[in-house]
Amino acid sequence: MKTTTRVCIIGGGVVGCSAAYHLTKMGWSDVMLLERSELTSGSTWHAAGGFHTLNGDTNMAALQGYTIRLYRELEALTGMSCGLHHVGGITLADTPERFDMLKAERAKHRTMGNDTAIIGPEEIRKLSPITNTDGILGALYDPLDGHLDPSGTTHAYARAARMGGAEIVLHTKVIATNPRPDGTWDVVTDKGTIHAEHVVNAAGLWAREVAAMAGCYLPLHPMEHQYIVTEDVPEIMAMLDAGGEHPHVMDPAGESYLRQEGRGLCIGFYEQPCRPWAVDGTPWGFGHELLPDDFDKIEASIEFAYRRFPVLERAGVKSVIHGPFTFAPDGNPLVGPVPGLRNYWSACGVMAGFSQGGGVGLMLAQWMVEGECERDVMAMDVARFGRWIGPGYTLPKVIENYQTRFSVVYPNEEKPAARPHRTTPMYDTFDAMGAVWGQQYGLEVVNYFATDGEARYETPSFRRSNAWQATAREVQAVRNSVGINELQNFGKYRVTGSDARAWLDRVMAGRIPAPGRLSLTPMLSEKGKIIGDFTVSCLSETEFQLTASYGAQDYHLRWFDKWLQGDVQVTNISDSRSGFQIAGPRARDLLAAVTRADVAPEAFRFMDVRRLPIGLSDAIVQRVSYTGDLGYEIYVDAMEVRALWRLLWDKGQEFGIKPFGMRAMMSLRLDRFFGSWMREYSPDYTPAETGLDRFIAWKKNTDFIGRAAAEAERASPPARRLAQFVVAAGDADVVAYEPIWLEDAVVGFCTSGGYAHGSGKSVAMGFLPADRIAEGLAVEIEILGERRPARVVTAPLWDDPRMRA
């Protein structure tokens, strides 16, 4: 065993072997994989081996498609069989809501080039004659779905990695990972110490324990999972004799998945009375064992399966596989550089390893070798969970995720487990006012306020929900008088030091403002992709405040840490500095009533920032608004928020003040065509594609990060651009990724949309070929399987001159 390596991968399951293969494929041959037992120990060996492309996140779905297509390449490269069976997959829908979800997914697949189809009961019976279609409305069919041999596939990855130069060392247990001052690591094993430039935690069931060796916590938890393999089934034998194979069938109503296994069937369940495993830690001695059979917890699931697949009731049980798999709180993998650690990478929580393992390995390798991934991987970025998260939060969220794995996923759904957990000082006040709560990054955020007689919850739906009237009411309050909204759910950072301006000029692509002013700027990756959408406020030459998305805190802090140099300090003040925004035609009147300072238009201009006395507080006040109205953001110490509220609320009564939540905020921004982080602005897109290039400071002399790529794009404009549409919608508005049709072909997709209550129109934003964008261009946007007429609009639907006056 060698004692130095460029990359040390801990864990010999399908993900670790995939990471090793992709790293060597990209030219890093000095890779070492350590496995404490045999390859596939842990969860890999007892996996059911199914694979599918269906995923609510389009990038995850694309990576699953990559994974599935990779298997033939692996077989050709290594000469080993992965045991592939591309039998196709059927996902059943027994309710209108579930059918809506499948139609929405099919629409997304059009934009991705996936060849899926919506089929009816008759076609379902032709493909799967053992399925009882009573009560079934339809299904989504995917020809790529299938199953494989988990062990053979993992060993194929391993052989491909060895062919690329990787060393795989078995029966070697890691007992410590110790960082060196230069950012490299000493990986201590029971057979010696290895000095590694990079460490990859791909330890699967033991990922929590391995992470703890590095002093960090990864939000993962194992869950017991059980599936049954039957004896021979005559109907399956008949299909085999006829030269066919039975497709996968996902039955979300029964919380089950079914596939052919040899001459019989395999069926697994995501049962409601589920059980977490190894709550206090995974035993190091566990490996190729199974858990005791537990039919009690799947009794109801089996009864349902007998009705959906009657042949099961006559089939004998050949074997029961009951073992643990690890899940993150949202069910997606945890991949990428771990915030707060240098050269330490996560490749964990990949519970659907044979659907996602190839894509995870590819993205990890690109991240390590090239510095960033070819696509947005926020859905699986380990930084999507903040450092506040702990085992007490992870466990109930993992249980919830397991229980809802086959549930309908709605665009406006708010899941209840582990809530409320993180709240602001205003929580009790807003709750008493009828707040209907949402959650962002663990924080309770007001979606809207219900009045007497209205439900205190929003009904999940793909169509317009019961929040409609409340949202309309709040929008009109902002447009006609003054609305107030809490600012807690902004990520906020204090940047100080003598080199603060120079550092910001390097990190941000836009103009860094003069004292007393603020600016809007994109933050770019080295390849010119959008990785941040910031407001920069200059409080002095040595103090700045940055604001961005609250949910991207660790993502942005990791980037800041990577580039930090000189006399610069970056402090996350997201929770220690808060306040309120006030917006609407009476906003200035309210501000004038609570401060002695002159806030007249000529004294306090649009995009000004001032320290003002507001009541008892020394507040930071910014004249800017995301609603498109005259507005101000007022920031104080979090301990002073309640006093600020009382002052603004009491003084605001004479101006007709009303509270508003995030539903109204996202409606208001549509009238102005303001983009949103992770919708219009994400690492999938560039400034020129989205219009953020207008905020790039092309004349500044700094070689800002991503400048070369942005300059190249400026010289050769992109083929697509963001456009805005007014849609002749029915009872459902655009959410995201709906196909845009022009001349009977899909030419683009939507990034976001909704109903703009201010203008009374259904609005969408999305990408079109740049040379086709023109005022009034008629297109169609596919919403829930129906192509709705839409037209391009190039001027905002709302433009109040008071916003800038």
Q: Which amino acid is at 282?
A: T
Residue with tokens 């990972």: 177
pLDDT digits (tens, 9 = 90+) for 212-269: 999 999 999 999 999 999 999 999 999 999 999 999 999 999 999 999 999 999 999 9
* Residues 6+ positions from 695 with CB-CB distance below 8 Å: 509, 510, 511, 519, 520, 521, 522, 687
Question: Which spans in 337-492 are helix H?
Answer: 353-370, 391-403, 427-432, 468-480
Gap between the Cα atoms of 542 and 495, Å rounded: 8
Tokens of 207: 């990922």
Q: What's the whole-number average pLDDT of the chain? A: 95
CB atoms within 10 A of CB 745: 8
| Spatial contact of 769 and 747, defined as CB atoms under 8 Å apart | yes
When pLDDT is cut at 50, 70 and 90, the band that residue 416 belongs to is very high
| Spatial contact of 687 and 528, defined as CB atoms under 8 Å apart | yes
Mean pLDDT to the nearest integer, 284-294: 87
When pLDDT is cut at 50, 70 and 90, the band that residue 47 belongs to is low
When pLDDT is cut at 50, 70 and 90, the band that residue 48 belongs to is low
CB atoms within 10 A of CB 382: 27
Collapse the DSSP code of 579 into the 3-class scheme (helix H, G, I; strand E, B; otherwise coil) and give the result.
strand
Backbone angle region of 441, left / alpha / beta, with phi > 0 → left and psi within -120 to 50 → alpha: left
Gap between the Cα atoms of 101 and 410, Å rounded: 8
The predicted structure's pLDDT at residue 288: 78
The predicted structure's pLDDT at residue 114: 79
Distance of CA 209 to the CA centre of its chain: 25
| Spatial contact of 695 and 675, defined as CB atoms under 8 Å apart | no
Mean pLDDT to the nearest integer, 439-467: 95
Gap between the Cα atoms of 11 and 360, Å rounded: 14
Q: Please determine, looking at this structure, whether the domain spanning 4-327 carries the CATH number 3.30.9.10.
A: yes
Is the N-terminal amide bond of 420 cis, ω within 30° of 0? Answer: yes
The predicted structure's pLDDT at residue 115: 84
Mean pLDDT to the nearest integer, 414-440: 97
pLDDT digits (tens, 9 = 90+) for 492-512: 999 999 999 999 999 999 999
The predicted structure's pLDDT at residue 153: 92
Residue with tokens 């069919």: 141
Q: Is the pLDDT of residue 549 over 90?
A: yes
Collapse the DSSP code of 777 into the 3-class scheme (helix H, G, I; strand E, B; otherwise coil) and give the result.
coil
pTM over the 0.85 mark: yes
Helix (H) / strand (E) containing 223: strand 221-230
Rounded to 10 deg, the angle between the 58-78 and 353-370 helix axes is 90
For 447, 725, 744, the CA distances from 733, given in Å and listed in that order, are 18, 12, 21
Collapse the DSSP code of 489 into the 3-class scheme (helix H, G, I; strand E, B; otherwise coil) and give the result.
coil
The predicted structure's pLDDT at residue 42: 67
When pLDDT is cut at 50, 70 and 90, the band that residue 148 belongs to is confident
The predicted structure's pLDDT at residue 1: 82
Gap between the Cα atoms of 527 and 707, Å rounded: 9
Q: Is the pLDDT of residue 611 over 80?
A: yes
Nearest to 565 by CA among 651, 632, 500, 614: 500
Gap between the Cα atoms of 321 and 685, Å rounded: 44
Please state which architecture CATH assigns to domain 685-692+707-802: Beta Barrel (2.40)
590-599's contacts with Cβ under 8 Å and 24+ in sequence apart are 590/482, 590/648, 590/651, 590/652, 590/655, 590/657, 591/621, 591/632, 591/634, 593/651, 593/654, 593/655, 594/647, 594/648, 594/651, 595/621
Q: Which amino acid is at 86?
A: H
| Spatial contact of 743 and 752, defined as CB atoms under 8 Å apart | no
When pLDDT is cut at 50, 70 and 90, the band that residue 352 belongs to is confident
Q: Is the pLDDT of residue 196 over 90?
A: yes
Helix (H) / strand (E) containing 688: helix 687-690
CB atoms within 10 A of CB 38: 13
Q: Is the pLDDT of residue 624 over 80?
A: yes
Collapse the DSSP code of 672 into the 3-class scheme (helix H, G, I; strand E, B; otherwise coil) and give the result.
helix
CATH, domain range 490-666: 3.30.1360.120
pLDDT digits (tens, 9 = 90+) for 363-405: 999 999 999 999 999 999 999 998 899 999 999 999 999 999 9
Q: What are phi and psi of 260, to 5 degrees?
A: -75, 140
Q: Is the pLDDT of residue 587 over 90?
A: yes
Domain residue spans in the chain? 4-327, 490-666, 685-692+707-802
Mean pLDDT to the nearest integer, 411-438: 96
When pLDDT is cut at 50, 70 and 90, the band that residue 653 belongs to is very high
When pLDDT is cut at 50, 70 and 90, the band that residue 111 belongs to is confident
For 25, 58, 328, 394, 402, the CA distances from 397, given in Å and listed in that order, are 36, 23, 8, 5, 9
The predicted structure's pLDDT at residue 56: 74
Gap between the Cα atoms of 732 and 411, Å rounded: 11
CB atoms within 10 A of CB 313: 11
Nearest to 492 by CA among 431, 420, 579, 428: 579
pLDDT digits (tens, 9 = 90+) for 692-737: 999 999 999 999 999 999 999 999 999 999 999 999 999 999 999 9
pLDDT digits (tens, 9 = 90+) for 161-181: 999 999 999 999 999 999 999
Mean pLDDT to the nearest integer, 300-306: 94
- In the sheet where 482-486 sits, what is the strand order? 609-614, 617-622, 631-637, 577-583, 482-486, 657-659
- Tell me the helix, strand and coil percentages in the chain, rounded to 5: 30, 30, 40
Gap between the Cα atoms of 717 and 693, Å rounded: 11
What percent of the chain has a predicted confidence (pLDDT) above 70?
A: 99
- Give the DSSP letter string of 416-450: -TT-S-B--TTHHHHHHTTEEEEEETTEEEEEEE-
Instruction: Return the HEC string of 130-183.
Output: CCCCCCCCEEEEECCCEECCHHHHHHHHHHHHHHCCCEEECCCCEEEEEECCCC
For 242, 337, 627, the CA distances from 635, given in Å and listed in that order, are 72, 32, 18
